[in-house]
Amino acid sequence: MTRAPDFPPANPDYRTEVERIFQAAPFIRSLGIEAEEIAPGLCVTRLAVREDHQQQDGFVHAGVLATMADHTAGAAGATLIPAGAIVLTAEFKINLLRSARGPELRCVGRVLKPGRTLIVAESEVYGGEEGATLVAKATMTLAVVRPR
């Protein structure tokens, strides 16, 4: 198990909300990103790499890495918001550290600073043959939105 931050969830049913985030997002479903672990302030995902995830030279496309990093960190943020609220990415920065290959990617998203209106989170994407090579690191600011 990946160590989760020590933040209390505002919604006791946070796990159901995070599972909804993965099931209700058509783009995420089409890519095949799946949640592996969900805890307050933490989300871990995996992606079995397919040919359609690759760019022209056989590496995983940067857009796939960015999407995985963004959605995983957003899901980590969603574990800490009140019922009925949602998170939307307000700012996003990714560092692509090395080319990604391998049969699978794994992403660990963690909340760095929770807040009532903004949450700061990070993600690390791992790949390679052993799945232990850090290939990308992202930070994002998530807006907590309460639909009217």
pLDDT given for residue 147 in this prediction:
77
pLDDT 10s digits, 66-101: 999 999 999 999 999 999 999 999 999 999 999 999
pTM of the complete model: 0.95
pLDDT 10s digits, 4-54: 778 999 999 999 999 999 999 999 999 999 999 999 999 999 999 999 999
Residue 126 near residue 106, CB atoms below 8 Å: yes
Give dist(CA 143, CA 139) in Å, integer. 13
Angle at alpha carbon of residue 23, lines to 79 and 34, rounded to 5°: 75
State the pLDDT confidence band at 108, using cuts at 50, 70 and 90.
Answer: very high
